[in-house]
């Protein structure tokens, strides 16, 4: 009976830990960056999801930081682009990590800081820049599960759910397996 309670508690903890729906790490009015991380040569999309005034020009600036940045980022910016807000109050901009974006070799992991500024709104987002798969400082070990500066990775959430389900099945099997009879 206690194994059943343990399995149910584990299942409940897994369900509560899964980042289903929107993440508290990124609200709908903030920048959406997809995918959230990558190596040199990676491509990602920056999207202003809502709250922007249609027809306004948004100026995007790109910088590099060792730790995640917010709207108070005061570091150097190396690249600037503009985009026009669409009728539905959104905008989108594709980015490729090349020497045009940041004019120096990126030999260490860090954060590419994207600041979007219009006359009515300012938002800042972070792209996690990895080098040979190594994450930068300040990235929690469970960042891909939504516990970091970016929304959760759907693949990581599915992997966590499968791990929890498998652990539950193994625990239930162990709890209900009949005890073997001792040898005479």
Query: Mean per-residue pLDDT for 89-105?
Result: 89
Query: Mean per-residue pLDDT for 21-43?
Result: 70
- Confidence at residue 152, expressed as pLDDT on a 0 to 100 scale: 52
Asked if residue 6 has pLDDT above 60, the reply is no
- CA nearest 113: which of 90, 138, 133, 85? 138
Asked if residue 4 has pLDDT above 70, the reply is no
167 vs 33 pLDDT, higher one: 33
5 vs 117 pLDDT, higher one: 117
Q: Which two tokens stand for residue 27?
A: 């609200």
Asked if residue 139 has pLDDT above 80, the reply is no
1 vs 122 pLDDT, higher one: 122
- Confidence at residue 136, expressed as pLDDT on a 0 to 100 scale: 86
Asked if residue 21 has pLDDT above 80, the reply is no
């Amino acid at each position: 009976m206690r194994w059943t309670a343990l399995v149910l508690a584990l299942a409940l903890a897994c369900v509560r830990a899964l980042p289903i729906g929107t993440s508290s790490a990124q609200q709908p009015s903030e920048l959406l960056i997809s995918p959230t991380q990558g190596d040199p040569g990676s491509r990602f999309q920056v999207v202003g999801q809502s709250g922007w005034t249609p027809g306004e020009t948004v100026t995007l600036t790109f910088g590099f930081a060792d730790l995640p940045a917010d709207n108070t980022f005061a570091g150097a910016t190396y690249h600037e682009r503009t985009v026009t807000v669409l009728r539905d109050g959104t905008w989108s901009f594709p980015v490729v990590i090349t020497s045009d974006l940041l004019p120096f070799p990126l030999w260490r992991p860090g954060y590419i800081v994207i600041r979007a500024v219009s006359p009515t709104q300012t938002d800042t987002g972070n792209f996690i820049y990895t080098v040979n798969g190594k994450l930068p400082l300040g990235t929690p070990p469970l960042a891909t599960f939504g516990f970091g500066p970016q929304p959760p990775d759907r693949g990581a959430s599915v992997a966590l759910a499968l791990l929890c389900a498998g652990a539950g099945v193994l625990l239930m099997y162990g709890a209900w397996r009949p005890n073997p009879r001792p040898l005479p």
